[in-house]
Amino acid sequence: MTELADQEGRRGALPPLFGRILRLAVQLAVTLFGLLFVTFLIGRVVPIDPVLAAVGDRASASTYHKVYIELGLDKPIWEQFLIYADHVLHGDLGKSVLTGRPVLDDIASVFPATLELSTFAILIGTCIGVPAGVWAAVRQGKLVDQLVRVLGLVGYSAPIFWLGLLGLLFFYADLGWVGGPGRIGIAYQFDVTRITGLMLVDTALEGQWDAFWNAFSHIVLPGSLLGYYSMAYISRMTRSFMLAELGQEYIITARVKGVSEWRIVWGHALRNAAVPLVTVIALSYGYLLQGAVLTETIFAWPGIGMYLTNSLGSADMNAVLGATLVIGATFVMLNLLADLLYTLLDPRVRRGQ
């Protein structure tokens, strides 16, 4: 009877789970359509002539008219949107005026740099932020709690470009502890075989350990600064989630039963707090993947943020819109992934409660 009841319970839990996944899929489609529509409108309302950006201001009137028709600007606005959407769905984001290459190829070449930097940063932010938030919650009101909160406040308040410039001046120029701007030193730049596009991974796969440590010295400062920024948010949210869990009745019951404080905090409270914390970490990762424009510009990091900055300076709208679309889609996908993980980790959501 018990096994039969368990099977019926599992069957009853499946429809709410599938229903939630279906709703998430619909939300994803609607959000991506809205993102596509917004980027299209941006390309039409900015005070930049896409024809002049393509042919230059010295082109003849006949050349201008020819390109004007080729770009479909003579068609109604709704038809222009359909053409734009069709091109995007087929992987055609246009050609960059700045590089002369397809925008998708440009993004594919620069995105791994942003992915590597953001992954390095989120690992630092998570590995330090979660324990710090737990520690602050356990020691609420004590010196440790105040210290974690102050560090988080500084991380929120201090401009990232200011911290970056100070870090370069102190750790690179004065002490020489870290590498300078860029992903790797010039001496190693042309010796690394591109496999994944991730410099640390590629140098390790090739066994080029001198190049690996050189690349590590270049990523440690910008990655640590971004990690500090994400750590401030993650530690704050971890502290809030842990305080909520430590005040629950099951924690009081566990203490009455003589369960060790270590097991209560790390085995019970943190396990339940981890469900919403997954969403926080995923969203933090998404914000880092948005390009970290200022950090990449300060450290001459050849990622999508620096690509977007250079494209804006050159009025290269195909590149700007393409990068914006990719960044937005990445953030939406990470948000969806966080919702799916939340659904899988929280049994109450799976049961539709």
Instruction: Note down the domain range covering 120.
Output: 2-47+93-350
The answer to the question of residue 215 being in a domain is: yes
The answer to the question of residue 132 being in a domain is: yes
Greatest CA separation for the chain: 86
How many contiguous H segments (helices) and E segments (strands) does the chain have? Answer: 17, 0
The answer to the question of residue 296 being in a domain is: yes
Q: Has residue 203 got a pLDDT over 70? A: yes
Q: Note the pLDDT of residue 55.
A: 64
The answer to the question of residue 175 being in a domain is: yes
Residue 289, Cβ density class (10 Å: 0-12 exposed, 13-18 middle, ≥19 buried): buried
pTM for the whole structure: 0.80
| pLDDT average, residue stretch 88-108 | 83
* CATH code, 207: 1.10.3720.10
| pLDDT average, residue stretch 231-258 | 86
The answer to the question of residue 67 being in a domain is: no
59: left (phi over 0), alpha (psi -120 to 50) or beta: beta
φ/ψ (deg, to 5) at 196: -105, -15
The answer to the question of residue 62 being in a domain is: no
Domain count across the chain: 1
Q: Return all residues near 198 (Cβ < 8 A) that are at least 6 apart.
A: 112, 115, 116
Identify any residues that bridge with 195 across adjacent strands, giving them in sequence order.
Answer: none
Q: Note the pLDDT of residue 1.
A: 43
Give residue-wise pLDDT tens across range 103-158: 888 888 888 999 999 999 999 999 999 999 999 988 888 888 888 888 888 877 77
The answer to the question of residue 155 being in a domain is: yes
Mean pLDDT of the chain: 80
What tokens were used for 172?
A: 């690179």
Give residue-wise pLDDT tens across range 320-330: 888 888 888 88
Count Cα atoms within 13 angstroms, Cβ side, for 353: 7
The answer to the question of residue 80 being in a domain is: no
Q: How many residues does the chain have?
A: 353
